[in-house]
Amino acid sequence: MSNALALLEKVIDPELRAPITELGMVEIRSETEDAIDLKIKLTIVGCPAAQKIERDVRAALESYEFVSLEMSTMNQQERDELKQKLRGGKPARFNPFAQPGNLTQVIFVGSGKGGVGKSTITANLAVALASQGFKVGLLDADIFGYSIPGQLGIKSGPTKVDDLMLPPIAYDVRVMSIGFFVTDNQPIAWRGPMLHRAIEQFLTDVYWGDLDFLVVDLPPGTGDVAISLGQLLPGAKSLVITTPQAAAAQVAERSGSISGQVGGEVLGVIENMSYLQSGSERLEIFGSGGGAAVAAALSKKTGQDVDVLVQLPISSELRAASDIGEPLVVSDPESEMSQLLAGLAKKIAGLPRGLSGKRLDISLR
């Protein structure tokens, strides 16, 4: 292999997370011991990663005395070849998560009502799984209350390579959200079929790569989105979030049993805002017992052994970290809350899951 190509193997496309040499982005025009003339072909005009790639290419080639570098864009044929490669030879409009033998564990995170901390926990859980070495995608399907981009500090949406969307990556998590497609914070008034199509596109037209986990933030309660997702992701398992309040627990139980129906197995219940630690005292601001009640009811309804996986305290740090777009598990991994969330991620990753450990059939290599 040419010396320059070997050096450029270390330059990673930040959106595709693969060496630019493997993505067909490098064309070496001439090469001698001290001079190199090359062209870097970006996927699209105005590629947001262009500057970073150029910087990294120049850094990788610093041992050359003369570097002539042209930054350009792929032509249609080159782009088609790249898309083909990214899709692992599969046709467009292919939902990799619905295939038999698909080994990505899909986790729906649901709650009976809004405001119980579902999105906050989903964001932190996804980031905690990624920091434990798993490949993680996060699909924000909370159509009416999407908040994941804000929680993860994501400022720009996916890059479109023709009909293929490259999701932004935050804290090593690939993220897609309906929020990327909304301008001026307009509420979305989509009806069933359109909604179904939008959700489907998030699975078929997005380059997710080979994921260990796809975590899905569901809208609260039950509805068209949960039903569409249940059909599109038949092997998904569910987490149900509730607060300790009896009223919240009742609605969580109802939605949990539905998500159990649409999403298969219920992995467990998370009780959030369980208590406020004040010195040595635990103040039960929102009452107690909600998580246990939901777990007991779901165990009875589903015939599975559903447990409360964790009780999370009220934590102003958790809220503050989400508000500034930096999840607590990253900004303060040593805090008690982060340790609980990391423990939850470990527990979920360790739950038995049939066909674990193998890779999805979408790979660049």
What's the Cα-to-Cα distance from 263 to each of 111, 196, 302, 334, 352, rounded to whole Å?
Answer: 13, 16, 12, 33, 16
Q: Which of 216, 38, 251, 261 is closest to 121 using CA atoms?
A: 216
Closer to ligand ADP by Cβ: residue 70 or 284: 284
Closer to ligand ADP by Cβ: residue 20 or 241: 241
Count of residues interacting with ligand ADP (CB under 6 A): 18
Closest approach of ligand ADP to the CB of residue 325, in Å: 12
Handedness of CA 235, 241, 246, 251 (dihedral sign): negative
Q: Does 242 bind ligand ADP (CB under 6 A)?
A: no
Closer to ligand ADP by Cβ: residue 257 or 322: 322
Q: Which of 102, 111, 242, 255 binds ligand ADP (CB under 6 A)?
A: 111
Closer to ligand ADP by Cβ: residue 141 or 273: 273
Q: Which of 79, 85, 118, 196 binds ligand ADP (CB under 6 A)?
A: 118
Kindly identify the residues of this chain, within the stretch 140-179, that bind ligand ADP according to CB under 6 A. 145, 147
Helices and strands per DSSP (H, E), number in the chain: 12, 17
Kindly identify the residues of this chain, within the stretch 70-109, that bind ligand ADP according to CB under 6 A. none
Q: Does 244 bind ligand ADP (CB under 6 A)?
A: no
Backbone angles phi, psi at 272, to 5 degrees: -110, 155
The region of 20-28, 118-126, 153-161, 277-285 touching ligand ADP under the rule CB under 6 A is 118-126
Q: Which of 234, 241, 253 is closest to 299 using CA atoms?
A: 253
Closest approach of ligand ADP to the CB of residue 313, in Å: 6
- Tokens representing residue 251 in the block: 């609605």
Nearest residue to the partner ligand ADP, using Cβ: 117
Q: Does 124 bind ligand ADP (CB under 6 A)?
A: no
Closest approach of ligand ADP to the CB of residue 318, in Å: 5
Closest approach of ligand ADP to the CB of residue 96, in Å: 27
Closer to ligand ADP by Cβ: residue 228 or 243: 243
Terminal Cα distance for the chain, rounded: 17
Do 92 and 294 contact (CB within 8 A), yes or no?
no
Closer to ligand ADP by Cβ: residue 250 or 304: 250
Backbone angles phi, psi at 340, to 5 degrees: -65, -40
Q: Does 269 bind ligand ADP (CB under 6 A)?
A: no
Do 351 and 103 contact (CB within 8 A), yes or no?
no
Closer to ligand ADP by Cβ: residue 232 or 273: 273
Backbone angles phi, psi at 149, to 5 degrees: -55, -45
Label residue 303 left, alpha or beta by phi (over 0 means left) and psi (-120 to 50 means alpha): left
- Tokens representing residue 322 in the block: 């989400």
Q: Does 216 bind ligand ADP (CB under 6 A)?
A: no
Q: Does 238 bind ligand ADP (CB under 6 A)?
A: no
Instruction: Name residues whose C-beta falls within 8 Å of residue 100's C-beta, 6 or more positions apart in sequence.
Output: none
Kindly identify the residues of this chain, within the stretch 293-352, that bind ligand ADP according to CB under 6 A. 312, 314-315, 318-319, 322
Closest approach of ligand ADP to the CB of residue 145, in Å: 6
- Tokens representing residue 4 in the block: 């320059």
Closer to ligand ADP by Cβ: residue 79 or 113: 113
Q: Which of 296, 272, 309, 277 is closest to 118 using CA atoms?
A: 272
Q: Which of 225, 275, 210 is closest to 255 using CA atoms?
A: 225
Enumerate binding residues for ligand ADP (CB under 6 A): 111, 114-120, 145, 147, 272-273, 312, 314-315, 318-319, 322
